[in-house]
Amino acid sequence: MVKLLVDIGSTFTKVVAVNLDTLEIVSRAQAPSTVEEDVTIGLRKAFNEIGKEVDISRLQPGDVLACSSAAGGLRVVSIGFVPELSCDAATQAALGAGAKIVGHYSYELTRQELSEIEELSPDIVLLAGGTDGGDRRVIVHNGTMLASSANSKPWILMAGNKAAQDDLKKIFQAAGRDVRFTNNIMPDIGVLSVDRCQKEIARIFLENIIEAKGIAKVKAMSSGILMPTPVAVLNAARLLSEGIRSDGFGELVVVDVGGATTDVHSIASGSPPSGVIALGMLPELYVKRTVEGDLGVRYNIDTLVQLGEDRGILAQGAFKREMKKFSSAGTLPENEIESDFDMMLASVALDTAIERHAGKMDVVYGAAGKMLVQHGKNLTDVKCVIGTGGPIVFCRNPRRVLERASFSEEKPNNLKPKNPGFYLDERYILYAAGLLAEVDAGKALGLMKKYVRQV
């Protein structure tokens, strides 16, 4: 039995044909995404390429599973009270739901900030703030501001102090705004509860947002969009880490280098080593995703070249001729020099993104003397780093790129993995396995074990 697994991305639309009986990838194709016109144009081109090797004429819509990050992905603005607490909690919850954070605000919203949110035009505004039974004034103020907005497009998801729900229901109802309520993502200081919130974000995405983005046409060619692409990759990473009966790879990190962003997913406890005091305001999520919107290897060429020169990865003034060409979405290397340039861009993006995702160790001095303090997630014990995304998968030396994820004695305070094994999603199937896991987790795990290879 063959299934087609589709990713409609911002740059390319990818399709993988998988034989579930043999766990073989029988064909793979991609075409430039036609987001500005009609996403089904690019999708049909990819289908046509697949059709040259596989008979797909008899496939039913249920045999085609799709995810998408096209049209800007799932755009979310997060609003909280204290930046390091409820605002950070809202951002973490949204990122774990596959969102792209386009703005985040704390304390009481001003009219200027409300105007900024209107300009950002997010799909969802995630409204948090206050522990249960704690401060309710700020979240009610922010809800009142949002209700008065001239832009009625974004859904509002309230995930803050439950004591404010009744007041906010009246405020939003009177304004005729689309709003949903879920549990408080930070019910107490130092406690995160994001699962229900993330499920509600996914529900809003499926029921409303994909319709607004014009991706609904894909329903006629598939079983519909099941989830945002980052959620598919995150689901695959967790399945590969944990397995089904403790037969997974263990704690791992997946780095997805793309044209518009570089995403990092970690499945790890991130606990501090013995003798270290962790002073993070919030606990680190076991399943964590971060998105670096300034590290896309096509949309952020200037930034990456500057970072590469600063970090000694790129020689000063190198590849000037290639920079202009590679700033266009969908551009692929055509010669050895361009391949080297693309690999260097991927190296810079991965190096920077992992450094930002991992925690840091600081030395502080207090009444008890010198102490080591961990801020963020400790990845030093992670033994598996997996690279995915075209700039890694298709480069000439993937291991050279992936080695940038390793702990460096030059930056001993950055808690990147020490001595990890490096793996490559060489057939670009992590998103596909994340989709397949929705219907058959066992086959999805088998597919990844077969095609995610050590390099």
- Please tell me the distance from the alpha carbon of residue 183 to that of residue 200, in angstroms, as a whole number: 10
pLDDT of residue 279: 64
Q: How far apart are CA 363 and CA 59, in angstroms?
A: 60
Q: What is the pLDDT of residue 209?
A: 63
Residue whose structure tokens are 């906010």: 168
Say whether 286 sits in a helix, a strand or coil.
coil
What is the distance between the alpha carbons of residues 260 and 350, in angstroms, rounded to a whole number? Answer: 13
- d(CA 363, CA 368) in angstroms, rounded, equals 13
Residue 343's Cβ-side half-sphere holds a number of Cα atoms within 13 Å equal to 17
Helix, strand, coil percentages (3-state) for the chain, rounded to 5, are: 40, 25, 40
Q: Where are the beta strands (DSSP E) in 320-414?
A: 360-366, 369-375, 384-388
Mean pLDDT of the chain: 86
The alpha carbon dihedral of 239, 244, 249, 252 has a sign of positive
* Top CATH class, 74-207: alpha beta
Q: State which fold the 2-70+213-223 domain adopts.
A: Nucleotidyltransferase; domain 5 (3.30.420)
For 410, the token pair is: 């030059």
Q: How many CA atoms lie within 13 A of 131 on its CB side?
A: 9
Domain map (residue ranges) of the chain: 2-70+213-223, 74-207, 230-454
| Residue ranges, the chain, pLDDT below 50 | none
Smallest Cα–Cα separation from 68: which of 247, 167, 215? Answer: 215
Cβ neighbors of 381 (< 8 A, separation 6 or more) are 251, 268, 417, 418
Measured at the alpha carbon of residue 205, what is the angle toward residues 199 and 210, in degrees to the nearest 5? 160
Q: In what order do the strands lie in the sheet with 287-292?
A: 287-292, 262-267, 252-257, 384-388, 421-425, 452-454
CA 444 to chain centre: 20
Q: What's the one-letter identity of residue 216?
A: A
Q: For the chain, what is the largest distance between any 2 Cα atoms, rounded to a whole number of angstroms?
A: 73
Distance CA 31, CA 41 (A): 9
Q: What global pTM score does this model have?
A: 0.84
Amino acid identity for residue 136 in this structure: R
End-to-end, the C-alpha distance of the chain in Å comes to 30
> Length of the chain in residues, anyone?
455
Quickly count: other Cβ atoms within 10 Å of residue 170's Cβ: 12
Query: Which pair of tokens denotes residue 164?
Result: 């404010």
